[in-house]
């Protein structure tokens, strides 16, 4: 018998329930996207074939999680599911206080309000839309301290999520340490392509921040995926479990905001975690005003149970290997075809480089927005713009930010699609790539004041 050259990975689960999806015609899709103002956020989900808009809240839950949903204790106060979730946060993340919120931005709101004074600066390893928005609403100024490699889609640097400590030192010199509310440190940096930071970089950051008395607040949304990359990419970590790496990361931080809709394999939920007693007290005071009581904060008991169980599953090596393996599978197919994507392949999505894909469309004609619309027209695959529309406008000058990265994100929900879905997606991208010269730029005809990408409307330029 011939020897196998390669041993493939496969999903560590089998499928028990299926949800049918609708097949549509090109003509139908051209009309649907026009009606949606060429904004994939405005499409109806039932008109989408393969939904790669986001990995947020779109995961498939396990039978263990669904069983937990039946165990929801929906008491207004003191739900037992809260205590299960609290125990899971202590066990896997190690933080002292759990402040549950309806989703990640609820936690960002509270953290920003309790820690940022007007005029403060919040250095971060690249911006995230909702995170920066809450920092600005609290009167803060975001400062980008990510390494330069993160802004270069071609750079194959393994830890593009790293903080550039020189950039941070300069900010401390310029503003004074007392003006730095905290460091906003994101795991597997979303806007950079799902790129991790290394433990070495975090330890150096911790040292610098300890000297200057600056707290580090982790955006833990995809920190378990970051832990997997530390295990597989960083020297000295191969023999540690994801659990051990996760705990070590958190030990260098003072708290975290979390959108459980990603790593935790649930459809809704999030939290703020803190170690400081006084800050936690302040956070709970705001929690009851904006989210809900301290033992549910906007999440149903059953959803807290699904979160607690999801955390247990998310730290499993086999789960992560298959999850990230599937993203790599799609990315490698696109690289084979010669489609320009952000390198290295990240954890939760493939990012098309729209500047290279559509060099004939200037950035102020929204090339990534136009590309996302063209992909939907071709196959019904829904993707997301992550470029100039997402970046928004500079609050002071009113001008567009012109981000170096003009990307379309193909985000893979966890445990939802098969390898065949990835093949169909790659084939659609290939077809669009072959016809790229025919794609036209867009004009923005409706622009909301904040987080404009969610609801903006466009028309095709002729």
Binding site for ligand P61 (CB under 6 A): 54, 56, 103-105, 128-131, 186, 190, 219, 221, 259, 261, 270, 384, 390
Respond yes or no: is residue 91 known to be catalytic: no
DSSP string, 331-342: HHHHHHHT--B-
Task: Please report how close the Cβ of residue 10 comes to ligand P61 at its closest, in angstroms.
Answer: 26
Annotated active-site residue 261? The verdict is no
Q: How far is CA 123 from the centre of its chain?
A: 18
- Give dist(CA 405, CA 156) in Å, integer: 15
Measured from the CB of residue 440, what is the shortest distance to ligand P61 in angstroms?
A: 24
CB of 194 to ligand P61, least distance (A): 9
- Please confirm, yes or no, whether 76 is among the known catalytic residues: yes
Give CA–CA dist 71/85, Å, rounded. Answer: 13
Distance of CA 134 to the CA centre of its chain: 16
Candidates 22, 63, 64, 76; catalytic one: 76
Describe the crossing of helices 104-115 and 277-290 by its angle, rounded to 10 degrees: 120
Q: Let me know: does 333 contact 423? Beta carbons within 8 Å.
A: yes
Catalytic-labelled residue, pool 105, 386, 409, 452: 386
Catalytic residue selected from 129, 131, 253, 411: 129
In the residue annotation, 219 being an active-site residue is answered as yes
104/367 with CB nearer ligand P61: 104
Closer CB to ligand P61, 112 or 130, in the complex: 130
Closest approach of Cβ 374 to ligand P61, in Å?
19
Give the angle 447-453-455 at the CA atoms, nearest 5°: 60
CB of 137: closest distance to ligand P61 in angstroms? 14
Block residue for tokens 């028990």: 16
Which residue among 128, 159, 351, 376 is the active-site one? 128
Query: Annotated catalytic, 159?
Result: no
Cα radius of gyration rounded to whole Å, the chain:
22
| Nearer of residues 172 and 331 to ligand P61, judged by Cβ | 331
135 or 201: CB nearest ligand P61: 135
Give the residue nearest to ligand P61 (CB). 104
Does the annotation mark 453 as catalytic? yes
* Contact assessment for residue 451 and residue 130, using Cβ atoms and an 8 Å cutoff: yes
Whether residue 206 lies in the annotated active site? no
Given the complex with ligand P61, which of 142 and 433 has the nearer CB atom? 142
Report the nearest approach of ligand P61 to the CB of residue 353 (Å).
18
Buried b (16+ CB within 10 A) or exposed e, 352-376: bbbbebbeebebebbbbbbbbbbbb
Nearer to ligand P61, 172 or 412 (CB): 412
Instruction: Tell me which of 73, 219, 254, 303 is the catalytic residue.
Output: 219
Residue 69: closest CA among 379, 305, 334, 373: 305
Active site residue ranges: 76, 128-129, 219, 262, 386, 453
């Amino acid at each position: 018998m011939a020897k196998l050259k390669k041993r493939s990975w496969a999903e560590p689960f089998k499928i028990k329930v299926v949800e049918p999806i609708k097949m549509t015609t090109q003509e139908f899709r051209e009309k649907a996207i026009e009606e949606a103002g060429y904004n994939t956020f405005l499409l109806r989900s039932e008109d989408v074939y393969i939904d790669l808009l986001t990995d947020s809240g779109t995961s498939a839950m396990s039978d263990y999680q669904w069983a937990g949903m039946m165990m929801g204790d929906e008491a207004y106060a003191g739900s037992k599911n809260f205590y299960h979730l609290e125990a899971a946060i202590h066990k896997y993340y190690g933080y002292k206080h759990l402040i549950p919120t309806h989703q990640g931005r609820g936690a960002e709101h509270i953290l920003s309000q309790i820690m940022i004074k007007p005029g403060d600066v919040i250095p971060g390893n690249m911006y995230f839309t909702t995170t920066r928005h809450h920092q600005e609403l609290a009167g803060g100024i975001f400062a980008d301290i990510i390494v330069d490699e993160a802004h270069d889609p071609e750079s194959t640097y393994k830890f593009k999520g790293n903080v550039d400590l020189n950039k941070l030192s300069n900010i401390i010199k310029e503003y004074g340490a007392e003006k730095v509310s905290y460091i906003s440190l994101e795991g597997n940096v979303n806007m950079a392509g799902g790129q991790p930071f290394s433990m070495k970089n975090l330890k150096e950051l911790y040292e610098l921040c300890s000297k200057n008395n600056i707290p580090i607040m982790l955006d833990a949304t995809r920190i378990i995926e970051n832990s997997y990359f530390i295990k597989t990419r960083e020297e000295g970590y191969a023999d540690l479990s994801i659990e051990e790496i996760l705990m070590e990361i958190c030990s260098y931080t003072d708290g975290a905001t979390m959108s459980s809709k990603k790593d935790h394999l649930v459809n809704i939920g999030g939290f703020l975690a803190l170690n400081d007693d006084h800050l936690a007290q302040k956070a709970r005071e705001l929690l009851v005003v904006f989210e809900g009581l301290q033992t549910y904060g906007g999440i149903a008991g059953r959803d807290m149970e699904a979160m607690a169980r999801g955390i247990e599953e998310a730290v499993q090596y086999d789960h992560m290997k298959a999850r990230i393996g599937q993203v790599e599978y799609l990315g490698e197919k696109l690289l084979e075809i010669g489609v320009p994507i952000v390198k290295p392949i990240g954890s939760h999505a493939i990012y098309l480089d729209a500047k290279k894909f559509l060099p004939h469309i200037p950035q102020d004609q929204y090339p990534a927005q136009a590309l996302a619309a063209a992909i939907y027209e071709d196959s019904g695959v829904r993707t997301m713009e992550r470029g100039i529309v997402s970046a928004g406008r500079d609050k002071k000058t009113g001008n567009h930010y012109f981000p170096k990265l003009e990307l379309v994100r193909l985000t893979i929900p966890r445990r939802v699609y098969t390898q065949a879905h990835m093949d169909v997606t790659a084939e659609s991208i290939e077809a669009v790539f072959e016809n790229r010269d025919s794609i036209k730029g867009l004009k923005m005809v409706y622009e909301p004041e904040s987080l404009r990408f969610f609801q903006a409307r466009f028309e095709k330029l002729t």
